[in-house]
Every structure is written in structure tokens, then in C-alpha cells.
Amino acid sequence: SSEVLEAIENVIEDVFKSLAQYKAPVLTVPRRSDWRNIEFKESVGLQMIPRYAVKQIRSDCPRSAQNFALMLKILSMIYKMVQTNTYATKRDIYYSDTQLFGSQSAVDNIINDISCMLKIPRRSLHILSTTKGFVAGSLSYTEEDGTKVNCTCSATAVSVPSNVQGIKNLISHAKFMLIVEKDATFQRLLDDDFCNRLSPCIMITGRGVPDLNTRLLVRKLWDTFQIPIFTLMDADPHGIEIMCVYKYGSVSMSFEAHHLTVPSIKWLGLLPSDLERLNIRKDVLIPFTKRDQSKLASIQRRPYIACQPMWKKELEIMAASKLKAEIQVLTSLSSDYLSRVYLPNKLQFGGWL
């Protein structure tokens, strides 16, 4: 906490120095979403380069003056929270003055900019992300406040903890971990008692694009148990994008890649090649939209695809067919095909990339 306070004090000191010299104060922030600031490293994923391009948030420029003020406002809130050892979610910060902040996304962006500028992870700034992910299966742990949590598979899953760094005493007999893209598929596998029927496993869903806590939990479980991690995604560009976020990270959070990515994650399904192999009827597949085509083209250009020749082939199959499929397409073969045939066969015979 003293590190955080000192980092904020240094920023404010620079503001005072500028004012004392009758200069307009300026905040210098790395350009988080600029691909020129990103390098790909197989062992880490997407990470920010040491000598990155920056943007200046000026107090004397009409376009950035409000952003400058909002950054100072949130820095002062963080400073108070660290001093008093209290925490807030991003939503708490937004609702503390909705008129001032204007939108939740403005708050989210500023918090990420501050974290990147100070080179301090967001959780150390005492800002908690709102959790939307779920976990189930062979896992138990103790939360920071001493609450014991048991995720052993039942009809209901457990919410991913809001302070992943604080959990301890993790125990699991799982042989593997399965990341499921969508909540509906996750619930279906829970109902089919998938976690126990094949072999003990841990199942996680970020319910679409994963929030920070879900990504932190996947990384923590990997660090703790070192068991294989598989992903189950829709066979579409959006599903592939989500899998890449878990495996290689996102451009906007590349400054935190070391805590968030798990490059050893495997693509279990749904593979574009599976659709042909399983003779899935064309009438249950979905034609590409223009947005799908541009998303897929963008993924194909990413630096990590070059080191994944098998992935490259799958993306080429998808690009050539211009068809996509949701995991639910397997119900056209039989209602429980996913849990009774598809996943057991894939896991037993090594059908992953």
C-alpha cells in the first residue's frame, strides 16, 4: 500500500511542480490499445513493450481537460481507499457521481489508464471488478475473510470470487480444467453431472468475454495445480477471440499479461473441422455476416496465429466455408451428444489443438 500511495503522490507532485512554474499540468499515459506498443511472446502472450508510445492528457486542452480532471478525481478516491484499507467496485465509483463521470465505460477506461500509468495492478489500487463468471467441480478454497467455499458439482455453480488474490488453501482432485464460453452450455454440462462422470474436473465460464476476475482465477488455478486446461467455444470468430483472451491476453490489458494469460491452454472444440467430421447438416449452420468476416481476417493477422499452424488451418476452413456454428449445434445429433459422446471422445483420444 505504501508503494501505491507513493506512486500517486509522485503524480500529484508533478502536477504541483508544473503549476509552480506556471505551466499547464500534463499526465502521460501509455497507449494501451495500440498494436505498435504490443509484442507477442509465446511464454506470456501479448505484452506491452518496454519502450512504448504514450499519449498526453493535458489540462489546458479542451478535448482532454475533462479526462485530466476525472483522472485526478479517481486518483484521490484510490488514495483514500488505500489509506483506509477499503475497497470499491468500478460500479461503486461510477455511481458515486454519475453526472460527473458520464458513463461506466469512461470510468473503466480511466481506471485501466491509471493502473497502466502507475504500473500497479488494478486489485492493488483497491478497485474490485464486478464478477460475472462461475466455477464448479472439484475445487474448494478459503476466501480472504475466512469463508470456506466448496465448488463440488451440483445443480448450482459458485460465483468467481471478487478478490481472487486473497483466496487460499486451494484443494482439488481435478484431472483437467474446462473453460466454457457460454453460460447455457456450462449449465447444461452441470445438469449432466459432467464434472464427476468422466473424471473429476474444474469447469469455469466467463459467460462470454471473461471479466478480469475470471481470467485471474484461471491463471491462479493453473499456477496452483498445473493441470491441462481446455476451452469449449462456439465455432465462430467471436468464440475464437474469447479463447485467445484467456490464452494470450487482450491488447488493452497487455500491461498486466504476466498475471492474466495461460499460454498452455488447448482448443478442444468446437473446431470448424469437427462440423465436417461429424456430418453436421448445413441447414443448422449460420452464414457469416460482414462483421464475422472482418473479425476472422483480423484474428488471422495476429502474431500468435503464426506459431499455431493447426489453428491456422482451422481458421482457413472457417474462412472458406463462411459458416459458423454454436456448441448447441451438437444437439442436432442427439440431446446429450456433447456430454456423453463429443467431450469424452475428445478428451480420451486427444482431439484438441
Domains of the chain are: 2-128 (1.10.10.10), 134-349 (3.40.1360.10)
Which pLDDT score, from 0 to 100, does residue 230 have? Answer: 96
- Active site (catalytic) residues: 95
SS3 46: strand
Long-range Cβ contacts of 15-23 (<8 Å, 24+ apart): 15/72
Q: Terminus-to-terminus CA distance in the chain, angstroms?
A: 42
- Digits of tens for pLDDT over the chain (353 positions)? 788 899 999 989 999 999 999 988 988 888 877 787 888 888 888 888 777 778 888 888 888 888 898 999 999 999 999 999 888 888 898 998 888 888 888 898 889 889 888 888 877 888 887 788 999 998 999 988 888 988 885 667 888 988 888 899 999 999 999 999 999 899 888 888 888 888 889 999 999 899 889 999 999 999 999 999 999 999 999 999 999 999 998 887 777 778 888 999 999 989 999 998 888 888 888 999 999 999 999 999 888 888 889 999 999 999 999 999 999 988 888 888 898 889 999 998 888 88
- 190: its cell numbers: 452441470
For the stretch 319-351, pLDDT in tens is 999 999 999 988 888 888 898 889 999 998 888
CB distance 267 to 243 below 8 Å: yes
Which pLDDT score, from 0 to 100, does residue 154 have? Answer: 61
- CA distance linking residue 269 with residue 5, whole number of Å: 46
- 234: its cell numbers: 462456439
Which pLDDT score, from 0 to 100, does residue 295 have? Answer: 92
Which pLDDT score, from 0 to 100, does residue 155 have? Answer: 65
Q: How many residues appear in the chain?
A: 353
Which pLDDT score, from 0 to 100, does residue 153 have? Answer: 58
- CA distance linking residue 90 with residue 296, whole number of Å: 31
**261 backbone dihedrals φ, ψ, rounded to 5°:** -95, 155
Which pLDDT score, from 0 to 100, does residue 260 have? Answer: 86
SS3 140: strand
- CA distance linking residue 172 with residue 195, whole number of Å: 12
Q: Quick one: the chain helix, strand, coil %, rounded to 5?
A: 50, 20, 30
CB distance 165 to 123 below 8 Å: yes
- CA distance linking residue 79 with residue 267, whole number of Å: 42
Which residue, among 304, 305, 306, 319, has the nearest Cα to 272 in the 3D structure? 319
- CA distance linking residue 170 with residue 67, whole number of Å: 41
For the stretch 122-164, pLDDT in tens is 778 888 877 889 999 989 999 888 889 888 856 678 889 888 8
Which pLDDT score, from 0 to 100, does residue 219 have? Answer: 93
